[in-house]
Amino acid sequence: MNYLKKFKKGTHVGVMLSFVIFLTFLIFLYIVLEPTFKTQKSKDFEINSIKGQLMQEVQEEVVAIPMIFTTIDISPTHNCIKITGSHEIFSEIDYDHLIIKDEEENFLYYDNLASSGVQGIQIEIPENFVSGVLTIYSSQDLSIYHKDLGGCRNNEEDEEFTIGSIGTSSVIFETEILDIIQEYGNNKDELKERLGIPKEYDFSISFLDEDKNIIDEAGEKNPLSDVYVEETIIEYSDTEGNLKIGFLIIRIWK
């Protein structure tokens, strides 16, 4: 009986000793791997910070101004309308970077009247347009659909219309992304500082279309050291205001 008690006691001590050894091993493992965990967490934070700053760099404001026409008298000598500075919309737009669309998303040519000393524009109207909404989009990254509409200058009175709700939004532009990639090649250090990338890190940027075809890129794609990659799906606009899907890939390594 005493022998059995001693045996059971010895077994209990062995279990406790094994548990202490296992616990010591876990503590040792944590101490060894803790710097790696911290590095991973820190690196992820840096990538997110860079991505956020990059997104700000490639966005521009777009002002959308809907003009609602109840009726327009289209004739062979009157295929355009004139809108001059008496309307408040002209404080909201950039005359040199406009796109004007009808309700079917057709592009309409316009003529800037500034050259004739008048604040305003003339807009070419489709033959079948008698009423509806024309929307002016203004942003420095939009193309210019300019055309000489000299005959329209004979109209002495502006067309009557009402202005809908003016909207302003931030849009990612293809031109802005391409400018950033070009800046990487021309002045990488300044771009790196502006994006908030620590000096001890390097980075690269890739811009892909919806099918993952490369549109443009800058920097190494396969550095020899460990690289952390952040791939972001984006909706961006081309210079004609068409929205597209693409990808921005950021790589960062030490």
Domain-terminating residue out of 170, 185, 208: 170
Q: What is the pLDDT of residue 103?
A: 87
Separation in Å, CA 34 to CA 20, 162, 173: 21, 64, 41
| Residue at 96 is within a domain | yes
Please give the average per-residue pLDDT across 139-157, as a whole number.
Answer: 69
Considering its fold, how many domains does the chain have in total? Answer: 2
Contacts of 24 (CB under 8 A, 6+ apart): none
Helix ranges, the chain (H):
2-57, 174-186, 188-194
For residues 184 and 157, membership in a common domain is answered with no
Under the banding of pLDDT at 50, 70 and 90, the label for residue 1 is: very low
Please give the average per-residue pLDDT across 144-160, as a whole number.
Answer: 63
Q: Which domain holds residue 185?
A: 43-59+172-253
More confident residue, 169 or 114: 169
pTM of the model: 0.72
| Residue at 28 is within a domain | no
The single residue listed with the structure tokens 């200058």 is 153
For residues 190 and 226, membership in a common domain is answered with yes
pLDDT digits (tens, 9 = 90+) for 36-93: 444 444 455 567 888 889 999 999 999 888 988 877 665 556 677 777 766 666 666 7
For residues 179 and 55, membership in a common domain is answered with yes
Q: What distance in Å separates the CA atoms of residue 50 and residue 248, rounded to the nearest whole number?
A: 12
Q: What distance in Å separates the CA atoms of residue 6 and residue 46, rounded to the nearest whole number?
A: 60
Q: What is the pLDDT of residue 153?
A: 47
Which structure tokens are listed for 193?
């500082």
pLDDT of 4 over the 70 cut: no
Percent of the chain topping pLDDT 70: 72
For residues 185 and 164, membership in a common domain is answered with no
Residue among 227, 231, 240 nearest 43 (CA): 227
| Residue at 210 is within a domain | yes
For residues 84 and 186, membership in a common domain is answered with no
Under the banding of pLDDT at 50, 70 and 90, the label for residue 248 is: very high
Residue among 170, 98, 169 nearest 135 (CA): 98
For residues 95 and 49, membership in a common domain is answered with no
The single residue listed with the structure tokens 């009557």 is 160
Domain-terminating residue out of 135, 153, 170: 170
For residues 65 and 166, membership in a common domain is answered with yes
pLDDT of 13 over the 60 cut: no
For residues 75 and 129, membership in a common domain is answered with yes
Under the banding of pLDDT at 50, 70 and 90, the label for residue 127 is: confident
pLDDT of 111 over the 80 cut: yes
Domain-terminating residue out of 170, 199, 218: 170
Q: What distance in Å separates the CA atoms of residue 214 and residue 208, rounded to the nearest whole number?
A: 4
Q: What is the pLDDT of residue 68?
A: 87
Please give the average per-residue pLDDT across 173-183, as a whole number.
Answer: 95
For residues 72 and 153, membership in a common domain is answered with yes
